[in-house]
Structure 1
């Protein structure tokens, strides 16, 4: 089942996909124009999810937040329930104070989060899911408001569970977590042109050392590693899903010296850009 809501005025969209055998998202090849955040719920057995070419285990009864620009496919999409929405429908940045999620579910961590649901939480979400389905069918003047309210409720539930499961350090106070969330959001918006920790530290009115200390409390990668990993991730996507040359990709990512970028890419991945592209093409042609 696929349910859709589109606001004719704002172009806000909310999609609900339930147990569809062809559900996926191929951002670079097919879906680039669609800027949807995704909350995917595996309500079946464990399966494999492939995110940007990397296979990961998707445990049963877990929720996986996915970014707007991620390519993903599921081994068993018929066991997936997914909510997808764009900025025009609900902007998590503008409403961060309401749901406290902008940097946590989608921008706060370099790691993929699989948020587990116990039996009570499964029942709660199943009840909420049924209300979602009912509201998609109610075509009236307050449909958008009702769907937004329920989406907000879903985000709050998942955010609370995620914080319980991924934030173990008591010394990481809300103000420090807020700095981390803002840092990661800024990296997402600026990684193509800003490659140094100093740039982000200046924007946040913090020293690079203070940022490093906050990330250490989170048991997270260093700020520089977060920046570099985001650059490498985008480079991999462009190598896998476009025909751009390594030189063009280097310029796209803010490097005037293509050879410097190639050396940087090889240091991070152990592959030269051309070798990475060839290796991924071989895997794809083999059906892996």
Structure 2
């Protein structure tokens, strides 16, 4: 069986030649200008777009979706997208965000994180006229900041603008969620509760069994449910949040690695270093200098 290829920012940058911020953020004026793959692709990034005209049809993990004018769409990481069909007049603005940059931006807003988790299974939402105008304004302002390399605080400024945009987008997701609240499945509810627990406790707890106990279910059932909903294991989610916490501490504080080891409840620096390198590809000290 042929291996499913990844789609990430680096690949899309090569195809689109649009405005980008390192390998963290890419803005595409019209996603139709990016050559469509002729086979299934696994997303290794997060795509947020707004359809302005025409129609697009595609499948996410074999589920079919369609996007029409005035609708926003979100494609989250680790999904498999396939069966693209775009009308001849299709146009859509699109922001592509790296997974790490996305989590850096929303890491301290737990309700926002939960709403984006909801959008994994409900990726298409209607925008009213005012919301469309706001999204387009964000797009243009962020693009102007990407091209302004003279600003010493460029990345921090863009991160702040993205957070503001995510607040507005989260409000749209919240409205859609309220309308579908009664129909939320048990697996979706368990997954949302699990992620909230991980966000609140990942500095101290990395055991799947501990999270299962808090949810009053077995570790096996938790693993099966999380994998069913998100295509990732509980351990992958825990590692993702733990690694993000370490990355933020390394980059945004002057704490020593010994202090970070204690903060993150690792038995010693060697253990933390090995864990970090396995997940990030470099040692904590090298990451701090990079």
- Using a 3 Å threshold, how does the CA distance of structure 1 residues 168 and 143 change in structure 2: closer, same or farther? same
Equivalence for 1:281 = none
Q: SS state of the match for residue 75, structure 1?
A: strand
Deviation string 1:15-61 (CA, Å, 9 cap, x unpaired) is: 111114353786x977x6x7312212222233312223443222321
Q: Structure 2 matches for 1:1-288, cutoff 5 A?
A: 2-6=18-22, 13-23=24-34, 35-72=44-81, 74-76=84-86, 78-91=90-103, 95-98=106-109, 100-105=111-116, 107-108=117-118, 111-140=121-150, 141-168=152-179, 181-183=192-194, 200-202=211-213, 205-208=214-217, 226-227=225-226, 229-230=228-229
From the superposition, tell whether residues 223 and 61 of structure 1 become closer, same or farther in structure 2 (CA, over 3 Å).
farther
- Please give the per-residue CA displacement for 1:89-109, whole angstroms capped at 9, x wherever unaligned: 3425x734337322321x236
* Pair 1:45–1:90, CA change in 2 (3 A): same
Render the CA deviation track for 1:167-218: whole Å, top value 9, x for unaligned: 24889xxxxx99752425789xxxxxxxxx987531xx13249xxxxxxxxx
- Structure 2 spans left out of the alignment, 5+ residues: 1-15, 183-187, 199-207, 233-290
Cα distance in 1 between the residues matched to 2:80 and 2:35:
8
Greater fraction of residues in helix: 2
Distance apart, 1:67 and its partner CA = 1.5
User: Cα 1:20–1:63, aligned 2, differ >3 Å: closer, same or farther?
Assistant: closer
- Structure 1 52/152 Cα, relative in aligned 2: closer, same or farther at 3 Å? same
Alignment TM-score, normalising by the size of structure 2? 0.54
Q: How many residues align?
A: 197
> Where in structure 1 are there 5+ consecutive unaligned residues?
7-11, 172-176, 188-196, 210-221, 235-288
**TM-score computed with the length of structure 1 as normaliser:** 0.55
Residues 226, 46 of structure 1: CA spacing in aligned structure 2 closer, same or farther, 3 A cutoff? farther
